[in-house]
Homo-oligomer: A and B are copies of this chain.
Amino acid sequence: MLKIAVLGTGRIGRMHVDNIVAHPKAKLAGVFDVNNAVAQEVAGKHHAKQFSSVEDVLNASEVDAVLIATSTATHADLIEQAVAAKKAIFCEKPIDLSLDRVKSCEQKIKGTNIPIMLGFVRRFDKGHRAVRTSIEAGAIGDLHQVIITSRDPDMAPDAYIEVSGGIFRDMTIHDFDMARFILGENITEVSATGSRLVNNALMERCNDYDTVTIVLKTASGKQCIINNSRRAVYGYDQRVEAFGSKGMAISENHPMNNMRLYAENFTDQKPALMNFFIDRYGEAFNNEISSFVDAVEQGKNPEVGFEDGKQALMLAEAASRSILEKRIIRLDEI
């Protein structure tokens, strides 16, 4: 039984709590949140301990690991503290919006053998993962092209967008990680184009884009296309396609349900696709915890770690610069 304390009991934190509680090899060691009432409710429901501070959590001998689901700005600090306290770490993405802060954190924790897993949950989606597995099994031969379609069901609130760090750091970051996961080879070139088609006024104010296309290339010539939109009215559009010398593997969308209607006035459920990321990737969030528990218990490296978080952020930087400078950016420029 891995005893995990959860830091941050907001929406995502509570979901992780449920997954830990139901997990056969994990136990909820307690919770902490700056919002005392929320933490109390979660603890009460599960007869679990409510810690009074992060320090308490990190000092508690009954805590094997911490799951960091607090706000982004605290992630790097908490990683550094947890490493010092020798607690295994599961941290929600991103490490930080600033590449400099990520690098300073990296310096600080250098040489640690504390397991650190980063919450790039999509790697644990059964369909996306089956694409990767197919490639590794040789089912599609040499990989030539990857197409990642990733569209949110709707624009986040303005207040969120304004501090999000921009579409590449906030949204495409997942797709950059997916590209790395599927390509299995270092990316050398990044070019990007952006448009303001969903909410032009907000995007102009934030100097941001709501509709982007990014083309990545590896040293051997593999190509990866990412296309993003901040709003797909038909639901959460999440597809990964890998094309190679011997075939193609596609991780298809998840319909709202498996009912199909054939009628005179063909009106199916709306939206057509699953809408909420906790629904769409619910099983992946579960698998992710399993993967973390297994890694810690078996002393293996987590499947996705600190370096992956840093690399995805570097790709985001490159994409931003490509739009500014209207040219292909080599990753070694970042």
- Residues on A lying within 8 angstroms of B by beta carbon are 1, 18, 21-22, 24, 27, 45-47, 126-128, 130-131, 134, 139-142, 144-145, 147, 149, 151, 189, 191, 193, 195-198, 211, 213, 215, 217, 221-223, 225, 227, 229, 231-235, 237, 243, 245-254, 256-273, 326-328
B residues in contact with A198, CB < 8 Å: 144, 245
Is B232 touching A248 in the complex (CB atoms < 8 A)? yes
Q: List 19 additional A-B contacts (Cβ < 8 Å) besides A195-B222, A195-B223, A213-B223.
A: A1-B45, A21-B22, A127-B258, A127-B259, A134-B261, A142-B197, A145-B213, A147-B147, A147-B149, A189-B193, A211-B221, A231-B245, A232-B248, A233-B247, A233-B264, A235-B262, A237-B248, A247-B264, A266-B272
Which of B24, B197, B245, B257 is in CB contact (< 8 Å) with A221? B197
A145 to B141, CA, bound (A): 30
Which of B235, B243, B267 is in CB contact (< 8 Å) with A265? B267
Is B193 touching A217 in the complex (CB atoms < 8 A)? yes
B residues in contact with A262, CB < 8 Å: 234-235, 247-250, 271-273
A144-B195, A195-B223, A217-B193 are known contacts. Are A246 and B268 too (CB-CB below 8 A)?
no
Is B139 touching A245 in the complex (CB atoms < 8 A)? no
A211-B145, A215-B213, A266-B272 are known contacts. Are A259 and B21 too (CB-CB below 8 A)?
no
Which of B1, B27, B248 is in CB contact (< 8 Å) with A263? B248
Write the nearest CB–CB distance from A273 to chain B, whole angstroms.
7
B residues in contact with A256, CB < 8 Å: 126
Which of chain B's residues has its CB closest to A27's CB? B45
Where chain A touches its partner, the secondary structure class is mixed
Write the nearest CB–CB distance from A279 to chain B, whole angstroms.
10
B residues in contact with A327, CB < 8 Å: 326-328
A191-B191, A193-B215, A217-B193 are known contacts. Are A252 and B247 too (CB-CB below 8 A)?
no
B residues in contact with A252, CB < 8 Å: 258-260
B residues in contact with A265, CB < 8 Å: 267, 270
Write the nearest CB–CB distance from A275 to chain B, whole angstroms.
12
Write the nearest CB–CB distance from A67 to chain B, whole angstroms.
16
B residues in contact with A127, CB < 8 Å: 257-259
Write the nearest CB–CB distance from A40 to chain B, whole angstroms.
15
A266-B268, A267-B139 are known contacts. Are A245 and B222 too (CB-CB below 8 A)?
no
Which of B232, B243, B326 is in CB contact (< 8 Å) with A151? B243
Which of B196, B221, B266 is in CB contact (< 8 Å) with A270? B266
A254 to B252, CA, bound (A): 13
B residues in contact with A130, CB < 8 Å: 257, 259, 269
B residues in contact with A249, CB < 8 Å: 259-262
